[in-house]
Structures are given as structure tokens and as C-alpha cells.
Amino acid sequence: MARLLEVGERVLLLDGKQRRYLVTLVEGGEFHSHAGFVAHADLIGQPEGVTVRSTKSARYTAVRPTLSDYVLKMPRGAQVIYPKDLGPILLLADVYPGARILESGVGSGACSAAMLRCGAEIVGYELREEFANRARNNVGGFLGAEALERYRVEIRDCYEGIDEADLDRIVLDLPEPWQVVPHAAKAMHAGGILVAYTPSITQAAQLRGALADAPFGFAETIEVLHRGWHIEGQAVRPDHRMVAHTGFLTSARLLS
């Protein structure tokens, strides 16, 4: 039987124009917009997918947010890694249950949440305490307390070294990931995978040079483009707007 919406849950409200609002249900709460308000009581105890009306008769459909929805709506300080890149990162890094991962540059916790949801165990290195706290809160807010037991964030600089040993994976979202390559070669076991997200191709090129000078192989760099399609009856065409460049993903394996 489908689980009903409960107090304390986050729900995603979609209006008639498919605009999305992330709301946490509370006793006596109200969601307000230009189209009036919806009482949380109208949603609590209802099945997912219920449609309710605001005080000005606007229609809202309520569903539980996916991780993709949550990443785009969660509180952030640093720029998040977008969903179109999170999926490829999970595959490039080959994230699996129990994988021991060092993530440096945790930002708002989007990539952390994706990897933790796959069952990984993560140690995060982050320079700014406010980012570390926000990442922990965002991870716990979506995945719950169990995920936080597998998530430790330290305030430190990955450029200065890595204390962990025998790591399975290293995932980087840093301005100069090439500075981490020598440390990564010592902190991972043979066969371990390094993945780095870099906004510019010059950063990716410098990283590839560092990987080539270290005991890494099978290096590749990709860019993921996301283009939606408008489909309405016989009217079929690419959307006028697309999510094009966000960053480059570089991966490599440590060889013995």
C-alpha cells in the first residue's frame, strides 16, 4: 500500500505551469505564493500525486521529490553539481555500496548525497566550515540519519595531503585538482578511480598532464549536454533552451 504524506516530509508542489516548490510539511503550516496559500493539512495524510487548490483556486500537485529535484531546490552556498553531471560521476567513479571515498570540495552536498545514496562511505575535505555544515544538513535532510553515519566532513585542505589510506575512490570539485594527484596516488589502492569536475577545459588539460606524469591510466575527459524535447501531439521539436556546458568530467585509474 502506498505511503501517505506525513508531517516532517519534504514534498514538491507543481503548479499549472510546472513551476516547482520544495515544502516541508508541518502541523498548522501553509504554503504561500502569488496564487494564495495551501494549508499543509490539505496534504498531510493524502497519497502522493494528490492535487489540491489554493485559496485563489490555483491547482498544485504534490509528489515526493527525487534526488534530482532536491539538488536543484536545496539550500546552497557553493554552486551545486547539476543532476546531468551527477549520474555520469556515479558511473565514471563506479560508486557501489561500501566504497570508501574521499570527496574534496563538498560544497552544498549534492555529489555527497548521490554517492551516499549508492551506499558509499565518504570522508569529505572542505575548506569552509559553513559549506561543510550546509552539506551535512542537506544530506541529512534528504537521506536521513543513517546516511550521516557514513559521512564525515573535515575542515582541511586537500592540496596539503590526504590522511586516509587504501581508498577506493577520490572525487574532486576543486579549482586545481592536479595538486591532489600526487596525494591521491598514495592514498588509493591500485585500481582505485579518481574523478574530477572542472568548469574549464584548461583545468581539465592541466589535470590530464598531471595524471599522465603519475601512475594513472585509462584517463578520459567528457562533457555532458542535456537537451529536452517539446512533444505536444504532432508538434515535436527540440526545446528552445537546453542545459549545455556546466563542467568537464575527468576520470582515471591508479595502476600498480
| pLDDT(77) > 80 | no
Confidence check: pLDDT of 36 > 80: yes
Residue 44 has pLDDT above 90, yes or no: yes
pLDDT score of 75 more than 90: no
pLDDT greater than 90 at residue 42 = yes
Note the pLDDT of residue 43: 96
2 pLDDT higher than 80:
no
pLDDT at 1 over 90: no
Secondary structure (DSSP) of the chain: -PPBP-TT-EEEEE-TT--EEEEE--TT-EEEETTEEEEGGGTTTPBTT-EEE-TT--EEEEEPPPHHHHHHHS--SSPPPPHHHHHHHHHHTT--TT-EEEEE--TTSHHHHHHHHTT-EEEEEES-HHHHHHHHHHHHHHH-HHHHTTEEEEE--GGG-----SEEEEEE--S-GGGGHHHHHHHEEEEEEEEEEESSHHHHHHHHHHHHTTTEEEEEEEE--B--EEEETTEEEE-S--B--S-EEEEEEE--
CATH topology of domain 10-65: Vcp-like ATPase; Chain A, domain 2 (3.10.330)
Q: Give residue 244's pLDDT.
A: 86
Say how many CA atoms lie within 13 Å of 32 toward its Cβ: 2
Work out the average pLDDT over 169-184: 98
What percent of the chain has pLDDT above 70? Answer: 100
Average pLDDT over residues 23-51: 94
Q: What is the pLDDT of residue 40?
A: 97
Band of pLDDT at residue 130, cut at 50, 70 and 90? very high
Enter the CATH code of domain 69-254: 3.40.50.150
Which pLDDT value is given to residue 242?
85
What is the pTM assigned to this prediction? 0.90
Lowest model confidence (mean pLDDT) among 1-5, 19-23, 173-177: 1-5
State the Cα torsion 199-104-82-218 to the nearest 10°. 70
pLDDT at 206: 98
Mean pLDDT (whole number) for 207-227: 97
User: What is the residue extent of each domain of the chain?
Assistant: 10-65, 69-254
> Residue 246: its pLDDT value, please?
93
What is the pLDDT of the chain when averaged over all its residues?
95
Q: Does residue 171 carry a pLDDT above 90?
A: yes
Q: pLDDT tens digits, residue range 85-106?
A: 999 999 999 999 999 999 999 9
